[in-house]
Amino acid sequence: MKNRVSILGIPFDNISPEAAVEQVYAMRLEERAHRVVTPNSEMVYLAQSDPVFAKILRESDFVVPDGVGVIYASKLIGTPIREKVAGIDLGEGLIARMARSGEGVFFLGAKPGVADLAAEKLCEKYPGLRVVGTQDGYFKNVDEVIEKINQSGAVLLFVCLGVPKQEQFMAEYGPRLTSVRIMLGLGGSLDGYAGLAKRAPKWMIRMGLEWFYRLCKEPYRYKRMLALPKFMLCVLKYGKKEVAKK
pLDDT in tens, 151-166: 999 999 999 999 999 9
The whole-angstrom separation of Cα 148 and Cα 138 is: 15
The whole-angstrom separation of Cα 61 and Cα 74 is: 20
Average pLDDT of the chain to the nearest whole number:
91
**Average pLDDT of the residues in 157-179:** 98
Where is pLDDT greater, at 206 or 221? 206
- Cβ pair 25, 18 in contact under 8 A: no
Q: What is the number of other CB atoms lying within 10 angstroms of the CB of residue 226?
A: 12
pLDDT of residue 1: 46
- Cβ pair 63, 37 in contact under 8 A: yes
pLDDT of residue 201: 76
- Cβ pair 156, 128 in contact under 8 A: no
Alpha helices, DSSP H only, in the chain? 17-26, 41-47, 51-58, 68-76, 87-101, 114-125, 142-152, 165-173, 189-193, 202-206, 210-217, 222-225, 227-234, 240-245
| pLDDT > 70? residue 200 | no
The whole-angstrom separation of Cα 191 and Cα 193 is: 6
Q: What is the pLDDT of residues 111-140, one digit of tens each?
A: 999 999 999 999 999 999 999 999 999 999
pLDDT of residue 228: 75
pLDDT of residue 54: 97
This prediction's pTM? 0.91
Greatest extent of the chain over all pairs of C-alpha atoms, in Å: 51
- Cβ pair 94, 21 in contact under 8 A: yes
| pLDDT > 80? residue 235 | yes
Alpha carbon separation from 65 to 11, 116, 195 (Å, rounded): 10, 28, 24
Determine what percent of the chain is predicted with pLDDT higher than 70.
88
**How far from each other are the two terminal CA atoms of the chain, in whole angstroms?**
16
pLDDT of residue 238: 81
